[in-house]
Amino acid sequence: MTAPVTPRRPRWRNLALLALLLAPLLWPLQQLAERYYSNELIEQNRQTLDLYVANLLGILSRYEVLPRILGDLPALRAALHGAEEPAVRDSANRLLKKLHRQTGADVIYLMDLEGTTLASSNWDDPDSFVGRNFAFRPYFRQAMEGQGRLGRFFGLGNTSGKRGYYFGAAVYDDEKAIGVLVVKVDLDHTETLWGNTPERLLVTDNFGVVILTSQPEWRFRATRGLEEDEREQIRFDQPYTTLNPRHLTLDIDSWLIQSRELKEIDWTVRILAPVSLVERPVRTVVAIGAATLLALLLWLGLLMQRRRHFIERLALDTRARQQLEQRVQERTRDLEALNRRLKVEVLEREQAQQELVRAQDELLQAGKLSALGTMSASISHELNQPLGAIRSYADNAGVLLDQQRNEEARDNLKLISELTARMASIIAHLRAFARRDRHAPERVALQPALDDALALLAKRRQALGVELIRDLPEATLWVQAGETRLRQILSNLLANALDALKERPPERRIWLRAERNEGGVLLTLRDNGPGFSTEALQRAREPFFTTKTSTQGLGLGLAICDTLARALDGELTLANHPEGGAQLCLYLRSADPGVTFPSED
């Protein structure tokens, strides 16, 4: 009898060969990961760059108009005409000191036609500018060129050694220049706002020299080669600590660089992100891919091992077929069942993968619908009150026309026209708010804005029988805010108070109190309603959080008020009054009637 042939066993070199064939798949995985994480980092840095550029331009534009405005003050003109009189110069010094505290400028000083400083806000400091000549500075030369030109210059102070941006404007008397008023803006503080992050920020001037940066050792380094005329200009203007800036050497391949040119001031803002921020997650993805490949090879190795054992068992069964035929058949059935289960598992995995892809698509669509719903809810919430008032005025106008009371009907139609204009302003504000647009605040009177908000809700308040208790000063309180935004905040706060008073029986009251407080104005609104619950105090500022039913409110009122208040450098605080009811305090920065702020678009 011929001995059975032992089957050839599979070798592990087959697995090694398979590993070599599958390893190149890691390269496209690496490329896809690098592309994804690079795009994510670029988009994140673009938003950061936009924020820093807006902050820098906002600081400069805040002081740009001051030299021309302050140059018209009589006390400063008198100092230029009577420079030899100590009393006149002392008055000018004290006025500039006061303006320095009010505006936040670093230094404000007045020079004669020769460039000598006659009065300065730091006149009583050890490093006073009084008596010093700055005729060599570009801002002085530019201001003296005439045609109302505004002088601009960045540089280190010769006296203080601090970096700053200078705005200079000529002071005229009957169209004849008699001096120059200069406002210096401190830029050292802007660097502290950038924080300690892996990204590096730098601002270069028209010479390509770094003037602001989150990396101190890069300061006053040149990012490009300087021409001889540029070096001569630097030696003449003396804007830096050095007259010969050293070159800034960077490994370009180690950074992802994005830049923004500020053409108004001929500066360039750049953000540099280390490539390592992309390389680390890419290495993680590749490591996961390699681990998955290794697990696949191990799984195949186990299958091969099991196959080898199976073949060995078949060889043994062949030699003892007569004795073990029944056991061989049972083993064969078991293996067939195992193969069927493996096929079922493979099919289930493929179906699960397809379900995952569909779920991701549905999640993306849900995110889009959520964003659309948020914007629709905001517009619905903000337009609900004016629409209610328009409906009421329109009904009253119809009744008045039937009674031939035309003048009163015309007044109602005029109010409807004003409300539609307010709705258009709210829509424009929501659109600007969605773009995170930033505008400088204007000077707004608090009492008229509060009267408008109360007039809008007057019929609703009277219907509820709410008693209004006012404690407002007779003198007009001026605050720094947007007129539309302020009315929007006040209307929402009063509407919320009326909603809360529905839940309690008469007597219903609302208290309004306003007072000056630490350089600002504090408006307190209190009701005798049920007050805030513990959960409401913690979550009241969250969008769509509300204690009302879905038909009574969307939960956006306090969230919008809080966002608008912070945008105006103010603060909205919520609490419960010791005697019961809710108490809301709105703090806004006060506006000095002597300083004009640009209007809100």
Q: How far is the C-alpha of 446 from the C-alpha of 476, rounded, in Å?
A: 7
For residue 193, the model assigns a pLDDT of 65
Residue-wise pLDDT for 118-140, tens only, equals: 999 888 888 888 888 888 888 88
For residues 58-65, give the mean pLDDT: 84
Model confidence at 314: pLDDT above 80 = yes
* Amino acid residing at 255: W
Which pLDDT score is estimated for 596? 43
Tell me the pTM: 0.44
Relative to beta strand 571-576, strand 107-111 is: unpaired
Say which residue the tokens 């490994």 belong to.
251
Most confident of the ranges 262-266, 289-293, 337-341, 425-429: 337-341
Q: Tell me what pLDDT residue 526 has.
A: 93
- Can you tell me the distance from the alpha carbon of 14 to that of 550, in angstroms, rounded to the nearest whole number? 66
Question: Do 595 and 587 contact (CB within 8 A), yes or no?
Answer: no
Average pLDDT score over residue span 287-305: 78
Average pLDDT over residues 26-50: 80
Same fold for the pair 65-186 and 439-589: no
At which residue do the structure tokens 């303006």 appear?
99
The most confident of the ranges 21-30, 268-277, 477-486 is 477-486
Tell me the per-residue pLDDT of 177-221, one tens digit each, with 9 for 90 and over.
888 999 998 877 777 766 677 777 888 888 888 888 877 788 888
Vertex 277: Cα angle to 274 and 278 (nearest 5):
110
Picking from 10, 13, 18, 12, the residue whose alpha carbon sits closest to that of residue 307 is 10
pLDDT tens for each residue of 94-107: 999 999 888 888 89
Domain 189-277: give its CATH architecture: 2-Layer Sandwich (3.30)
pLDDT by residue (tens digit) across 353-400? Answer: 888 667 645 643 453 344 345 445 556 666 777 787 888 888 888 888
The confidence band for 598, taking pLDDT boundaries of 50, 70 and 90, is very low
Tell me what the mean pLDDT of segment 144-150 comes to: 78
**pLDDT tens digits for range 507-554:** 899 999 999 988 899 999 999 988 888 888 888 777 776 766 544 556
Mean pLDDT of 60-71: 86
With pLDDT > 90 as the criterion, what percentage of the chain qualifies?
Answer: 11
Going by the DSSP 8-state scheme, the letter that residue 597 receives in this structure is -
Mean pLDDT of 443-465: 87
For residue 252, pLDDT beyond 90: no
pLDDT, position 521: 93
For residues 240 and 553, give the distance between their C-alpha atoms in angstroms, rounded to a whole number: 58
Buried b / exposed e over 496-518, threshold 16 CB at 10 Å, is bbbbbbeeeeeebbbbbebeeee
Phi/psi at 515 (nearest 5 deg)?
Answer: -155, 155
**Contact in structure between 143 and 149 (CB atoms under 8 Å):** yes
How many Å separate Cα 337 from the centre of its chain?
A: 62
Residue 452 has pLDDT above 90, yes or no: no
Q: Which CATH architecture has domain 439-589?
A: 2-Layer Sandwich (3.30)
Mean pLDDT of the chain: 80
The matching CATH number, chosen from 3.30.450.20, 3.40.50.300, 3.40.50.150, 3.40.50.1000, for 65-186 is: 3.30.450.20
**Res. 74: pLDDT tops 70:** yes
pLDDT in tens, 151-188: 888 887 777 777 888 999 888 888 788 889 999 988 77
Q: How far apart are CA 497 and CA 574, in angstroms?
A: 12
Can you give the pLDDT at residue 233?
82
Going from N- to C-terminal start, the domains of the chain cover: 65-186, 189-277, 439-589
7 vs 565, residue with greater confidence: 565
Contacts of 62 (CB under 8 A, 6+ apart): 440
Query: What angle separates helix 321-402 from helix 406-434, to the nearest 10 degrees?
Result: 150
The burial of 337, by beta-carbon neighbours within 10 Å (0-12 exposed, 13-18 middle, 19 or more buried), is given as: exposed
